[in-house]
Amino acid sequence: MNLPDELWPLVWQRASGTPWPPLSDDEAKLFFVTANDHGLLPLLMVAGGLPDSLEAAKSRHRAWAAIYRKRHDLSRAALPRLAEIVGADAFTCYKGSDFQHRLYPDPALRPMSDLDVLVPRERFAELLDRLAAHGHDRKCGAHGAPFSPDHFEASIMFGEVHVELHQSFAQPVRNTIDYAGLMQRRETFVGDGLNLWRFSRADAILAQAFELAKDEFASKLIRHVDFHLLIEGHNDLLPLCVARAKQWQIQRALFGALELHRRLFPSVAGDAVVAAIDTLLTPRGRDRLRAHVLHGLDGHRNRAMQVQTKLNLIDSPWRRLALPVVAAWQEAKGRMYERRARRAGMVVPPRIRGASGG
């Protein structure tokens, strides 16, 4: 595992905007807090070649590292339990549940707030019913759309571990991702002694690019480290990724992920990355995304700006128009199911008006 030389200076730039490295104890504390915010603390604790101020500060943050290790140990029971109930062939690990084993020498170096798995759309309802029959009901931590039975994901709790069961990465209207092809090309791996499934490397690259774009490229830096590690040593897959992104109508997502990779980690973004960037979209389309979407991502964005960015990262004009309509319909349907759940006795936290957007 090779981390880009720019990673730790980038963390410090996000923390303070001042020249690298942090020198004082207070600056070192700010650096560790920022690394923690970006999901990088476990990596930082084992990183070598750091300035003396940061090496000296490691001893003061070992309690945080121990907490991450404990969380990882707790999460290890979730996937075996899921496999016991629905069968290991029924789901495919992706995002952190894949990356912790595929990309990192120690799975505990890749912290996760939840475990994500993809299941076939035609089995989604059946698998939810099977989990409910074993005491793992669908949980709704949000309001509206997540209550809809055809929402693209469902939250399941396994003790203290949160598992996200996906039937798609997002609303299907956004793109034409070939989920059947994803399942056909998946590969086996061993995670914590269990035989599991994950995407092929090329499909994992594309899925991560889409996930970054789904978050309007405002993700924690650990997600960009994942993307770097996915393509490191696999530049030969980028032409295939470009071709598949065009088929799936996620060119803008892959372009944005590669362009940000080039900006964040220029020392590791070679000619193959530049060549892939230049074969996505049109020159005018690339320039528009650079100027109007990828420019100033580190700054504050209100809700309207986030929505506009989300729409601008969808390839098809008609899909950009359709997404708000589909989202409004799912929200209305979800609210209906939410009211039914309340009447049936489900305890749902009250809505906090004005909590989103700022």
Q: What is the pLDDT at residue 355?
A: 39
* Whether the predicted pLDDT of 352 surpasses 60: no
Task: Tell me what percent of the residues of the chain surpass a pLDDT of 90.
Answer: 73
pLDDT-derived band at 334 (thresholds 50, 70, 90) equals confident
More confidently predicted of 270 and 230:
230
Which one of 148-157, 269-278, 300-309 scores highest in mean pLDDT? 269-278
Q: Is the Cα torsion angle 110, 115, 120, 121 positive or negative in sign?
A: negative
pLDDT of residue 292: 84
**Half-sphere exposure of residue 8: CA atoms within 13 angstroms, side-chain side:** 21
Rounded Cα distance between 117 and 77, Å, is 15
pLDDT of residue 141: 63
Report, as an integer, the average pLDDT of 152-176.
93
Residue 318 has pLDDT above 80, yes or no: yes
Residue 143 three-state SS = coil
pLDDT surpasses 50 at 354: no
Residue whose pair of structure tokens reads 């923390």 in the numeric block:
15
pLDDT at 298: 62
Cβ atoms of 276 and 239 closer than 8 Å: yes
Answer whether residue 357 shows pLDDT above 60: no
pLDDT beyond 70 at 353: no
Lowest mean pLDDT among 18-22, 123-127, 146-150, 195-199: 146-150
What pLDDT was estimated at residue 290? 93
- From CA 136, how far away is CA 156, in angstroms rounded? 6
With beta carbons less than 8 A apart as the criterion, state whether 44 and 35 touch.
yes
Could you tell me if 176 and 249 are in contact, meaning their C-beta atoms sit under 8 angstroms apart? yes
Give pLDDT tens digits for 39-77. Answer: 999 999 999 999 999 999 999 999 988 898 888 888 888
- Mean pLDDT of the region 82-111: 96
Domain boundaries, the chain: 7-72, 76-312
The helix/strand/coil state of 198 is strand
Model confidence at 337, pLDDT cuts 50, 70, 90, reads confident
Q: Identify the band that residue 358 occupies on the pLDDT scale cut at 50, 70 and 90.
A: very low
Three-class secondary structure of residue 164 per DSSP: strand
State the pLDDT at residue 348.
67
CATH no., domain 76-312:
3.30.460.40
Pairing of the two strands 194-198 and 153-158 = unpaired
pLDDT of residue 274: 96
243 pLDDT higher than 50: yes
pTM metric for this prediction = 0.93
Q: Which DSSP symbol is given to 280?
A: S
DSSP class of 281: S
How deeply is 256 buried, as exposed, middle or buried, from its count of CB atoms within 10 A (0-12, 13-18, 19+)? buried
Determine the Cα–Cα distance for residues 184 and 284; give it in Å rounded to an integer: 36
Is the pLDDT confidence value at 356 over 60?
no
Q: What is the mean pLDDT of residues 270-281?
A: 96
- pLDDT-derived band of residue 349, with 50, 70 and 90 as boundaries? low
From residue 189, how far is each of 7, 122, 200 by CA, in Å? 29, 24, 11
Q: Tell me the average pLDDT of the chain.
A: 91
Element housing 189 (H / E) = strand 187-191
Q: Helix (H) and strand (E) counts for the chain?
A: 17, 7
